[in-house]
Structure 1
Amino acid sequence: MSKLGENLLKISVILMVLLSLFLSWKIWTKPANHQFQDRTDKVKAVIQKKEMTEVYMPTKLFYHHGSGDHFLYTNKESTMKSLHEKIVSLGFGSSKVLSTAEITNLTTKRDLFNLVYPSPIPISLFINMNNVSATLPHDSKNFLFNWLVMSLDDNKLYFVDYKNKTGIEFDIKGNIASIASILDAESNNYVTAILPTDELNYAGIYYLADSTKLKTYSYIIATQSFTTFSRGFFNQPNDLFSNEGENLSLSNSEGESLTIDSKTGEVNYFGKLKQDHSESINELYYETFQYVEDMGSSLGNLRYFSDTGNEVIYRNYVEGFPVFGDNMKGSMAATVQNKNVFIKANQDTLQIPLPSDDSVTLVPTQEVVDSLINKGVDMSKVSDIQIGYKWQQNKETQQAIDLVPSWYVNYDNMWMTQEKLESILVKGGHS
């Protein structure tokens, strides 16, 4: 497509979205201090709820095939979904707790693949939400894992927390040949990765061996109305009242409240839990997921990303990579405490992709690590390094944003770009 054609396409898409934004503005500029009748029943009819197994999924695949120390890596969603479906359909036999030596040996075995989750989840959650019939070893129901490893040559399945060198092994039976055919498909578009086993990589981070060229994506953004959030979050979404002020503020007689910042679009909700899952050992995941479920696709392709204490963070994924933005753009966080829930999100959501030929070349992971070390980073505080998309304003129009590929570092339990972390250290920050 010619440059002129691309520009005309962009302009036509933007004009359509501007019309949509104008209609939204007409709704938003209604007078304050009046009662809102949220047409919840009508809206619910068109919302397709998410399944928990769609959200709590692995996001990386590493395949150790043939000779050598290298792995084949892809984050192709359809491949991982197919493998995951095959795994949960297998027959699970006897199980045992792995020793540290057995976990270390897994890193060198051949004909093995590893589905990696963005953060550890309980094995009991995996079993329950996938309806797997499996008997855990004694006192293992609270075991957390982020590696789901399968050996093709001895019919073993391993749930592993590599950082803590703990794991559980299952004997399995089923159609293993069909799994191998998924792994060997040419459409997986593998790139080369390695798994350093030195003391600097205690968290078990797979390194991309070569430079990676990734596209920069541009999206028209949609500004979700307050009804989207009142429907998805409130226990009582009808008979809401607004309060005067620069920012939209809604509340009801049940003590639920929601505010939307007029400048940043950040959404904050507080209320009682819709459903209390306190009888479940995995209550935090079920209690926060119900709000992701009720939002459907309104906030994009949300996936489980991490949890800390009583908070779970869900992020948008685009082309297999997580999205990072200021003021909760591209993400949602839910905190549960004393049967109350506090949710943070953003009105702005990804809607229509725009044509773009721009790309970014990212250096191999080892170069990122070397740069961090040279800047004085304490690598014991680095629990993950991965590629993410940085949400930033498009220079041509306020109605569009760019997603720029960047290296992200989880340093001292905080995610930031490599450049930001290094600039903090240069300015005198502590490592």
Structure 2
Amino acid sequence: MAVITSIVLSFFIWTNTARYQRGRNIDVTSAESNKNEIPMNQVISPTQVMWHDETDQHLIYNSNTNISLSIQKVMQDWKIDEPKLVSKKDGAYYQKVIQSKNMIQMVYPTAITTNTLGSLLNNNSLKNDKGSQFNRILINLKNKKDQNIYLADDSNYSVYKAKVRNASAVPIAKLVKKANINLKVRLNIMKHGVFTFYVDPIKMKSYSYVISGKKDGEYTTALFDSNTSGLVTSEDNNIYTYNYGESKRLVSDHNTEELTFEDYTDTSVPKTQLAFMQRGYQKVVNLQNSVSNLRLYNADWKNKDLIFREYVEGFPIFKKSQFGSIRIKFSRKGSSEHFLNKVLEVPVPSNQAPTKLKSTNEIFKGLQRAGYSPNDVQAVEVGYQWESETENEKVVDLKPTYYIKIGNHWKPYDEWSNESAEED
């Protein structure tokens, strides 16, 4: 069976790669693509786009066009002034802002700073800003008198207003109309922050991908500055360690395909959040061939820790590892990079029927039945669960489900509740 599967997959890969890549925004590049062509504003990018019309709020997505990247390109032509603080620590006002009608809203999975946004948009006035934090950009598409964009921060309910000149909402309104995924949502402020609730049950496709990896020698060549003549290699229980003097070390666990690279010479800790993001992005690009599906998922400035996850159709992938896809940490003792030797490459045909997930309200009811209060829940996300195929180790299945964070641990809904996240 495994041999037949392998032959069939090989046929699909060699005959259909172009067909699957063309016209699909599954955020995956082919192995031949130049990794340096993936700009920083695609890796450090909003992962959710919401549109609030006259009545309801919707999570929107386009399988053919990356809406958030397209909006960023439109904004690059705008003259955006330095943001001014409008409100802070006022939850009622904050809820009113993030639920405003006729607003397009782009949501980052983690907070970034205004000068980072300035760098991503190549906007000088934002580049020179002191670096206020935010994770939402809001733009009014209907009120022509409102010549501003708004930056909002879920962590302390800060709202900033920045005057905009030389701007038109028309191209963004066109992008909204082209969305082919449209899910009704409601934003609720809870104990641990702002939660995106899916009002109704949602249908999501399952995906299967061929995954690729590299030999240890390819990593040592890239990470040890191509000078591998002085490498000392050791092996214990299928865990390989490569030491370059006392300055650099790579540990490759062939049992789990997890790798850790430590560079003890990299002792300069980033002094600004912009430098923190830029250096993290550069390390990711140096590490991995395919980075177009990677997004910055969490930036912990206090601990100088960055986590990147892979995304498919705007939703994060979980269970690939305990730390996402790539984790980078800076310290005065040196930098460390944790990553997996498993990268999504080519989508393969999936004949599975779409998965119908429960509404978020139903998920919270199930958690309460299992003994968890809404205040216990630190985060809820709809995402894809990484499941390796038993008959073919080169193929991974991505199955939609709810992922819940309680007690600083992410687990699928069924592991918390002993119930399925799918509709009966």
TM-score if structure 2 supplies the norm length? 0.81
The aligned amino acid for 2:243 is S
Give the aligned partner of residue 321 of structure 1. Answer: 315
C-alpha contact 1:272 1:340 (8 A) present in aligned 2:
yes
TM-score if structure 1 supplies the norm length? 0.80
| 1:226 is aligned to 2:216 | yes
Q: Alpha-carbon deviation of 1:336? A: 1.1
Deviations 1:282-337 (A, max 9, x none): 33323322211213434662110012322110011112211112446960101111
1: CA distance, partners of 2:251 / 2:207: 30
Secondary structure of the residue aligned to 1:396 is coil
The aligned amino acid for 1:72 is H
Task: Find 2:130's aligned residue among 123, 141, 166.
Answer: 141
The aligned amino acid for 1:13 is L
Mapping for residues 334-345 of structure 1, pairs under 5 Å: 334-338=328-332, 340-345=334-339
Compared CA separation, residues 176 and 414, structure 1 to 2 (3 A): farther
C-alpha contact 2:112 2:134 (8 A) present in aligned 1:
yes
2: CA distance, partners of 1:107 / 1:13: 45
Compared CA separation, residues 131 and 51, structure 1 to 2 (3 A): same
Give the aligned partner of residue 86 of structure 2. Answer: 98
C-alpha contact 2:46 2:107 (8 A) present in aligned 1:
yes
1: CA distance, partners of 2:292 / 2:40: 15
Give the aligned partner of residue 71 of structure 1. Answer: 57
Give the aligned partner of residue 20 of structure 1. Answer: none
Give the aligned partner of residue 19 of structure 2. Answer: none
Q: Alpha-carbon deviation of 1:49? A: 5.5
Task: Find 1:117's aligned residue among 86, 108, 116.
Answer: 108
| 1:332 is aligned to 2:318 | no
The aligned amino acid for 2:345 is Q
Bigger CA drift: 274-283 or 83-92? 274-283
Mapping for residues 191-340 of structure 1, pairs under 5 Å: 191-197=183-189, 200=190, 203-235=193-225, 237-239=227-229, 240-245=231-236, 246-272=238-264, 276=268, 278-298=270-290, 301-308=293-300, 309-327=303-321, 331-338=325-332, 340=334
The aligned amino acid for 1:62 is M
2: CA distance, partners of 1:350 / 1:135: 35
Give the aligned partner of residue 186 of structure 1. Answer: 178
The aligned amino acid for 2:306 is V
1: CA distance, partners of 2:267 / 2:77: 29
2: CA distance, partners of 1:401 / 1:326: 10
The aligned amino acid for 1:217 is Y
Compared CA separation, residues 213 and 105, structure 1 to 2 (3 A): closer
Secondary structure of the residue aligned to 2:124 is coil
C-alpha contact 2:186 2:198 (8 A) present in aligned 1:
yes
C-alpha contact 1:60 1:73 (8 A) present in aligned 2:
yes
Task: Find 2:345's aligned residue among 337, 348, 351.
Answer: 351
1: CA distance, partners of 2:4 / 2:170: 46
2: CA distance, partners of 1:84 / 1:112: 16
Task: Find 1:170's aligned residue among 150, 155, 162.
Answer: 162
C-alpha contact 2:150 2:161 (8 A) present in aligned 1:
yes
2: CA distance, partners of 1:295 / 1:44: 15
Q: Alpha-carbon deviation of 1:226? A: 1.5
Secondary structure of the residue aligned to 1:407 is strand
2: CA distance, partners of 1:342 / 1:236: 19
Unaligned runs of 5+ in 1: 1-6, 18-42, 425-431
C-alpha contact 2:86 2:159 (8 A) present in aligned 1:
yes
Question: Higher Cα Rg: structure 1 or 2?
Answer: 1
Secondary structure of the residue aligned to 1:164 is coil
| 1:375 is aligned to 2:370 | yes
| 1:80 is aligned to 2:80 | no
| 1:11 is aligned to 2:7 | yes
